[in-house]
């Protein structure tokens, strides 16, 4: 993944998701079963380390269709 401003390779930073994370799957201590239903990975978060890009938002993220957007997903 390349930075749209300086074309330098972006560094993988993190990913983001919707729903409950995996640690909540399965049967909890109280015997209630939580199905692994609503967890869904939305995309990856990248960061540009180039000093020239400090004036821009240094974070980028991909959406579900792998398209790159500027900023940080909320
Ligand atoms: Zn850059």
| Residues at Cβ < 5 Å from ligand 1 ion | 3, 5-6, 48, 50, 53
Task: Indicate whether this model's pTM tops 0.85.
Answer: no
DSSP run (H or E) holding 62: strand 59-62
- pLDDT tens for each residue of 15-60: 998 886 655 556 666 676 666 667 788 999 999 999 999 899 899 9
CA of 40 to the centre of ligand 1 (A): 28
16 strand-pairing partners: 43
Domain ranges of the chain: 1-18+37-74
CB neighbour class for 27 (10 Å; exposed up to 12, middle 13-18, buried from 19): exposed
- Which of residues 32 and 62 earns the better pLDDT score? 62
CA of 30 to the centre of ligand 1 (A): 49
């Amino acid at each position: 993944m390349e930075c749209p401003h300086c074309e330098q390779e972006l560094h993988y930073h993190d990913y983001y998701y919707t729903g409950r994370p995996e640690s909540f799957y399965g049967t909890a201590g109280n015997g209630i079963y939580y199905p692994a239903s609503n967890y869904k990975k939305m995309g990856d978060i990248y960061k540009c380390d180039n000093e020239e890009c400090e004036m821009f938002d240094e974070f980028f993220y991909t959406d579900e269709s792998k398209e790159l957007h500027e900023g940080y997903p909320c």
